Structure formats: structure tokens, C-alpha cells
Amino acid sequence: MKHAPIPPALFKTNRDRLRALLPKNSLAVANANDILPTNSDAVLLMQPNSDLFYLSGVEQEESVLLLAPDACDEKLREVLFVREPNALLKIWEGHKLSKEEATKISGIKTVKWLTEFRSVFHQLMCEVEHVFLNSNEHKRAAIEVGTRDARFVQDCQARYPLHDYQRLARLMHPLRVVKSPHELELLKQAVTITDKGFRRVARFVKPGVNECEVEAVFAHEFIKRRGKFAYNPIIASGANACVLHYNENDQTCRKGQLLLLDVAASYANYNADLTRTIPVSGRFSRRQKQVYNTVLRVMRASIAGAVVGKRHRDWQKESQKMMNEELLALGLLKKSDIKKQTEDEPACRKYFMHGLGHPLGLDVHDVGFASEPFAPGWVLTVEPGIYLPDEGFAVRLENDIVVGADGPVDLMADIPVETDEIEELMNP
């Protein structure tokens, strides 16, 4: 845990919100993620399970949380199970949570060792009717690798086939998409770290530096501030920026090119998501500035349009309509192109082929129901772009916003984005 301690009130509030949605005589289970193997005897660093962290603040492997609000034994109405520390684990893997430490982090009074899990779980299963188990229900998830959650579901249903099993994700998604004030503070910390990294990189970039050197500058700034990369950084110079998920980050940045930076920090598992496009030489050309300002206008209008009650699909269509008009003005589209467009294939898709934004939080592409109208507390990315492979460059800009009752709040309003701000930052 690199981040500073988080008040357990955040996790207690999250558990209370979930409890309020559970029907009588229910049991909800949240598992830690697996530690994934690589080759030989090596493993990847564990990524904390977002739902388990949301409900407990615990980031340790093999942990399990049980919530049974109507359990006969009041001490078993919320139980956290963790690995029992021992001398061998301490030597090989380092410190493991004591029961007292787990309580301090989570606010859960009943903490037990994993060796007690089966007996406690059986006791609760004999009392409850409804069992809420977890799975990855993100609409874009690629479910190819078996998970700890999937194995638990299979084992649980085999041992207790007569219970009413339900999906925990259907309850967690609407909870997690609305960010509490505590969560927004953690997101703002990730944004602050991202801001520091971007400003340092903007002063560093010049013709001749390699994309990997730029990545290293971000890494140094993020890590020293107790953060990490929120996702694989995209450091794309010139035509590389026309590859939406470019990850090679190994080319030399050359005079006259633009450099697309889709890089952000994660702090305490909460993720920022920033994109900026800067001139390698420190000054935009006339054409680059023309395209850049087009994207900036669409971003600003789309931020303003992210209001309570709007649906994502309508928000996206509004941005596409704006982009059509902007591309007409740039000479990239003709009126005949717009006349031939369809609802599923707008004319602008040739140059702006991805979504306008997505929910953001404990996951970069956070959970939430895209079919539901925006509500206060939703955090969204706003990321229009124009991609011109024939001209050897692209421009994408991205800010993170909070949907509010009084209008959207731009969490990245202080991060330079106007062309004169970028040039001034790069030429102090």
C-alpha cells in the first residue's frame, strides 16, 4: 500500500449502501483477485479486486468479505477473512495484515483467519435464502481466463444447490458509478499527480527524445507521489498517434511532429484518465493548431453537455453532430458525406471512430449502466479526437468530469489545454 491511509468511514458507508439493497435473509460475497502467473515460477503483482476494495479497503491476496445483514449472530453480519501471518510468509512475502490492522483499514470488527472460512460460511448458508455472488459484467470484458470469483461460484452452487443465487454486479454497478465525496477526494489526488507528471513532461519534450524517455519521466513523477500508471501509457509521436491503443513507446520524437500523451495516474486504486497532444518542437504549426482547436471545441461543448438526465447515447450523438460540422469546416468532410451517413455510421467516424467517454473510478473503464441517464456523482471522461494518418498526426484531448446537479465540474480544468498554455509551458 503506497498510498496514505484512507478513513474507514468510506468503506463502512459503501457497505451500508449495499446492505440497503439486499433483500431479507441475504448473503453477499466479495473475493480478492487471483495473483496471475507468468512463466516459470514468476507471478504478476496482484491487482486489488475493485468490489472488495470498495467495500473493505483491503488489498491483500486471498481475502474474502461476507455480508449477512440478518444473521442470527450479530458478530457474523459482516466478516472479513484474511491470511494468517506467520514467520515463513514474513520472510518470503513480507508483512501480512493482523486482525487489528484489518479492522483499522476496513472498520469491520469481526476479522477471522481464512482457516475459519468454511465453517462460518456454512453456518451463514444454513440461515440465508438469497446468495449474491460476483462476476465480471463489464459489457466490454473478454471473459477468457477463469477467476477466483468464477471458481467460487462453481464450488458454492455445487455444495449448496438449492439456494436462490443472484448477481452481486447488478447491485454494485449502480452503487459504484455514483462517487461519494470521499471517493472524489481520492480521484482528485490522482488528477493532481497526473497534472504534476504532465507539466514535467511538457518541459522535458524536445526533438530527439525517445517516447520511452517520456514514459520514464511520467513514471518517476507518479511513483514519487505514491501513485502508479492507471493504465498502459500511450506515448505516440507523429503517425503513431493514429493507432488508438499504441503501446510500443519506442520511437524518437522528431521536429515538427505532434506527441499524443494518453497517460494518467492511479492513487489508492482510483484512476485518472488524461490525454493531451503537444508539439515536439514546442510550437504548433498552423495546420496542427487548426485541428487541435477543432477537437478542443468539441471537448468543451461535450463537457458542458454532460448534464443530469442525459443518456450516454444521446451525448455521443451530439458530439458526432458537432464533429461533422467541424470536419466540414476543416475540409475533411463534404456535405454529400453527411447526407450519406447513417445512424450507426456517422460521417465523422472516418476521423473520430471511438466513443466520447466512459465512467471512471476504481476501474479506468468503470462499471455502471450506460443505458441509464447521467446522475449527480457520475465521473466521466470526455475524449474526442481527430486522426489523420495521411497527414501523419492525430489530436486527442481528454478531461475527467463530475456530473453535478448544478452542471458538470471539470476535474482537470487546471491542467493546461489551450494551445497558448501548452506553448508557454513548453517554452518557459
d(CA 352, CA 349): 5
pLDDT in tens, 377-414: 999 999 999 999 999 999 999 999 999 999 999 999 99
Q: Which residue has the higher pLDDT, 76 or 371?
A: 76
Position 402 in a domain? yes
Residue-level pLDDT at 190:
98
Q: Amino acid identity, residue 114?
A: L
C-alpha cell at 156: 458454492
Average the pLDDT over 302-323 and give the result. Answer: 98
**Do 15 and 156 fall within a single domain?**
yes
Alpha helix (H) residue ranges in 179-230: 181-204, 211-224
pLDDT in tens, 213-233: 999 999 999 999 999 999 999
pLDDT in tens, 240-280: 999 999 999 999 999 999 999 999 999 999 999 999 999 99
| pLDDT at 70 > cutoff 90 | yes
DSSP at 380: E
Alpha helix (H) residue ranges in 282-396: 286-305, 312-330, 335-339
Q: Do the Cβ atoms of 376 and 159 come closer than 8 Å?
A: no
What is the domain-level CATH number for residue 257? Answer: 3.90.230.10
Count CB-CB contacts under 10 A for residue 293: 15
Q: Taking the CA atoms of the chain, what radius of gyration do you get in angstroms?
A: 24
Give the percent of the chain with pLDDT over 90. Answer: 96
Residue-level pLDDT at 142:
84
Which residues is 259 bridged to in the sheet? 237, 278
Domain end, chosen from 175, 200, 230, is at 175
| pLDDT at 139 > cutoff 90 | no
Give the percent of the chain with pLDDT over 70. Answer: 100
What is the domain-level CATH number for residue 41? Answer: 3.40.350.10
Please name the residues in contact with 103: beta carbons below 8 A apart, sequence gap of 6 or more: 109, 111
C-alpha cell at 84: 494468517
| pLDDT at 168 > cutoff 90 | yes
What average pLDDT does the chain have?
Answer: 97
Residue-level pLDDT at 192:
98
Q: Do the Cβ atoms of 388 and 428 come closer than 8 Å?
A: no
Position 216 in a domain? yes
Domain tally for the chain?
2
Domain extent, residue 253, equals: 181-426
| Secondary structure class of 234 (helix, strand, coil) | strand
**Do 67 and 131 fall within a single domain?**
yes
Q: Do the Cβ atoms of 330 and 290 come closer than 8 Å?
A: yes
CA end-to-end distance (rounded Å), the chain = 37
Checking phi first, is residue 258 left (phi over 0); if not, alpha (psi -120 to 50) or beta?
Answer: beta
SS (H, E, C) 115-148: HHHHHHHHHHHCCCCEEEECCCCCCCCCCCCCCH
Residue-level pLDDT at 321:
97
Q: Do the Cβ atoms of 26 and 164 come closer than 8 Å?
A: no
Cα dihedral sign, 40-44-50-53: positive
Position 422 in a domain? yes
**Do 169 and 242 fall within a single domain?**
no
Residue 116's closest CA among 163, 75, 176?
75
Q: Determine which helix (DSSP H) or strand (DSSP E) holds 50, and give its type and residue range.
A: helix 50-56
Residue-level pLDDT at 164:
98
Total residue length of the chain:
428
| pLDDT at 143 > cutoff 90 | no
Average the pLDDT over 283-312 and give the result. Answer: 98
d(CA 78, CA 15): 9
Cα angle 194-216-241, degrees, rounded to a multiple of 5: 75
**Do 256 and 352 fall within a single domain?**
yes
CA distances to 46, 66, 90 from 115, in Å: 21, 15, 18
Domain end, chosen from 120, 145, 175, is at 175
Average the pLDDT over 153-177 and give the result. Answer: 98
pLDDT in tens, 27-48: 999 999 999 999 999 999 999 9
| pLDDT at 182 > cutoff 90 | yes
